[in-house]
Amino acid sequence: MRSFCVLVIAFCGHYDLVWTPTFNLTPFGTATQSSMWSKYYGPENAIRPPISNKFSEGYCTHTYFQPNAAWWMFQFSFGAAYITDIAIYYRENLASRMDGFKLYVTNTSTIPPDGYLCYEDPDPGLPNITQTIPCNQLGQYFIYFDDKGSQQSPTRYDGPVVELCYVAINDNIASESIVSQTPRGSQPASLANDGNAKSCSITKGTTVTLQVDLQKESIVIGVYITFGESTTREGNHTLYASNTSTSWQSGTILYKETSLPSEINVYAVFRYLTYESPVEGLFSELEVCEIGIVGCPPSNYGLFCNQSCPENCNGPCDLDTGKCIFGCLNGWHGDKCEQVCQAGTYGKDCLATCSTHCLYPQCHGVTGECLVGCNDGWQGFDCSQTCTDGFYGINCQQVCSPLCLLRPCDPRTGECIGGCVNGLQGFNCTEVSAIKEDIGSPVIMQVGLFTGGCLFGAVIATLVCCIIIKKRQERNKQVKENTTTETQRDDQQHYDDVKMENISTYQEITIDSTSKEYDQINAAYINH
Ligand SMILES: *[C@@H]1O[C@H](CO)[C@@H](O)[C@H](O)[C@H]1NC(C)=O
Ligand SMILES: *[C@@H]1O[C@H](CO)[C@@H](O)[C@H](O)[C@H]1NC(C)=O
Ligand SMILES: *[C@@H]1O[C@H](CO)[C@@H](O)[C@H](O)[C@H]1NC(C)=O
Ligand SMILES: *[C@@H]1O[C@H](CO)[C@@H](O)[C@H](O)[C@H]1NC(C)=O
Ligand SMILES: *[C@@H]1O[C@H](CO)[C@@H](O)[C@H](O)[C@H]1NC(C)=O
Ligand SMILES: *[C@@H]1O[C@H](CO)[C@@H](O)[C@H](O)[C@H]1NC(C)=O
């Protein structure tokens, strides 16, 4: 035997006594909401204690008042869950804002919700701000939805808003089970696990049994049965645990007494739970209003189900070994998610690589945020953005020279790569030009100087031509031509340098910002 079972059988004459043996699934998933009033009212507040209606910063969620609909959503990290019921604690004294709320279980995160409507607050009247609402539905998301808004006073209408202080989303193995009874009876066996203790299965005969098929061998730590009034009390009440549906009597007897006790402790791993009528051979009646069977909660594992799953598991862990079967929370890896991501990696299973533009090759293990800052020319939390307008340097915190003709300046160095405003020159255009020209671009200015130089040379040459004799004239002309060619070559080369510098900077920015970083950002979005 590898597990521990608490058996509780309740006999009750009152139909409205509800036993709901359940486990809250909200530790296993993530909450989101339509908007956030301030950072103190995040969606996660609703899934952490205290379990109360008390409203204060950090205690409750709070969206904006929204024009059409406000919502709060929970997604299970491990896929679909069978939701038995949902407990809600809304903000104290504001039932008016809760008025008209709807609860959905869905398989998509679509808004407005596209799935099963568990509950809609009826008109007229305001809802109780503390409620436990049965749902009994399989799905991947739970959505609290408000598209009604509230009339706070004759003159004040508030748009839809969500202010949840605590939410528990509960699960119960018996609700996923199949219940059968012999004989077939006057009320169906399925009423014994429909989540409603007011509806009961009823059967009578000389040999009466009720059987719950858990559909797989399960570690059971608690069984709760709510019997109806007409159940025959006299005789031995027997409950068996077995792995076969027919020969349950060769399984384990969990309970056999002439009276119904309130509590018994046993150990059990089994698939079928079978209740047998108290007195065989004599006429007896059985009425079962609700059966609750509590398995090893998804947060526990081990022989006695008393060890906690590793804290960084992304969902339940393996019942035997405690390994995280749905992987790790972002920033962790290893079988039991006990290792933090190595330097330079982050995210789900540490598979993402820190941005190459982080100042040091390390980043936040969960978010990928560059911890120390960005390389020159890059900015943003993961240093994936170039500076776009007028900034440069580490984290793009320095302003380009106001004397640059065109923004941006070089995002790494701050150099005015687009040239300078009139009459200035230099790295960041702080030096006065030797020649003041009324031409905007330095390139045009250079062309102008070049052309002017040639004209000036030609005038000189003409004068020299007119004055000096033919021999000297030839020699002088040769000297002038050499000078012109050299000037021309110098200017052309400088012009090419400027062009090349511009092109290579441009290419670096284009390649870096579009390929790798973009993919990483994409991947990050897909993962969430
Ligand atoms: C979600 O998907 C599961 C599995 O396909 C299905 O059984 C369940 O009914 C679906 N739930 C809803 C609310 O559509
Ligand atoms: C609201 O629900 C709580 C808990 O279910 C209950 O104790 C309380 O009496 C209810 N209040 C009203 C006004 O129905
Ligand atoms: C209950 O079980 C005991 C022992 O198995 C048996 O002696 C007794 O007769 C049973 N009582 C009834 C009412 O069947
Ligand atoms: C059911 O089978 C498991 C092993 O698969 C075993 O550990 C358990 O004891 C069995 N339960 C019963 C009631 O025979
Ligand atoms: C679990 O329960 C067993 C049996 O009672 C006990 O020996 C063991 O120490 C418990 N383990 C933890 C982690 O509490
Ligand atoms: C111009 O460049 C120098 C040196 O590179 C720097 O110290 C100065 O702050 C810059 N001026 C402006 C206005 O950017």
Neighbours of 120 (CB within 10 A): 13
Token pair belonging to 25: 């699934």
| CB-defined site of ligand 3, < 6 Å | 235-236, 279
The set of residues, in sequence order, having a beta carbon less than 8 Å from that of 287 and lying 6+ positions away, is 187, 200, 201, 202, 227, 228, 229, 230, 231
Residues linked to residue 272 through DSSP beta bridges, in sequence order: 213, 242
Asked whether the predicted pLDDT for residue 396 surpasses 70, the reply is: yes
Ligand 1 center from residue 430 Cα (angstroms): 68
Distance between CA 52 and CA 74 in Å, rounded? Answer: 19
Q: How much is the average pLDDT of 475-479?
A: 47
Distance between CA 20 and CA 48 in Å, rounded? Answer: 21
Distance between CA 144 and CA 160 in Å, rounded? Answer: 12
Look at residue 22 in the predicted model and tell me its pLDDT: 61
Q: Whose CA is nearest to atom 13 of ligand 5?
A: 307
Superfamily of domain 23-171: Galactose-binding domain-like (2.60.120.260)
| CB-defined site of ligand 1, < 6 Å | 80, 105-107, 115-116, 137-139
Ligand 6 center from residue 386 Cα (angstroms): 20
| Beta carbon of 128 within 6 Å of any ligand 2 atom | yes
**Span 422-452, pLDDT tens digits:** 888 888 888 887 654 444 344 333 333 333 3
Q: Whose CA is nearest to atom 7 of ligand 3?
A: 236
Ligand that comes closest to the CA of residue 133: 2
Asked whether the predicted pLDDT for residue 495 surpasses 90, the reply is: no
Asked whether the predicted pLDDT for residue 92 surpasses 60, the reply is: yes
Query: Taking the domain 178-301, which CATH number applies?
Result: 2.60.120.260
Ligand 4 center from residue 297 Cα (angstroms): 19
Say yes or no: do domains 23-171 and 178-301 share a fold. Answer: yes
User: Residue 250 burial by CB count (10 A; 0-12/13-18/19+): exposed, middle or buried?
Assistant: exposed
**Secondary element (H or E) of residue 507:** helix 470-514
Ligand 6 center from residue 409 Cα (angstroms): 12
| Beta carbon of 211 within 6 Å of any ligand 6 atom | no
Distance between CA 210 and CA 187 in Å, rounded? Answer: 13
CA distances from 81 to 47, 72, 78, 466 (A): 16, 18, 8, 103
SS3 content of the chain, % helix, strand, coil (to 5): 20, 35, 45
Q: How much is the average pLDDT of 9-35?
A: 62
Lowest mean pLDDT among 191-200, 299-308, 437-446, 495-504: 495-504
User: Which of 3, 4, 304, 307 to mutate to test ligand 5, by most ligand atoms within 8 A of the CB atom?
Assistant: 304
Distance between CA 302 and CA 322 in Å, rounded? Answer: 7
Distance between CA 351 and CA 21 in Å, rounded? Answer: 39
Report the alpha-carbon angle 305-311-317, nearest 5.
Answer: 45
Lowest mean pLDDT among 192-196, 314-318, 414-418, 468-472: 468-472
Domain boundaries, the chain: 23-171, 178-301, 402-448
Residue percentage of the chain with pLDDT more than 70:
74
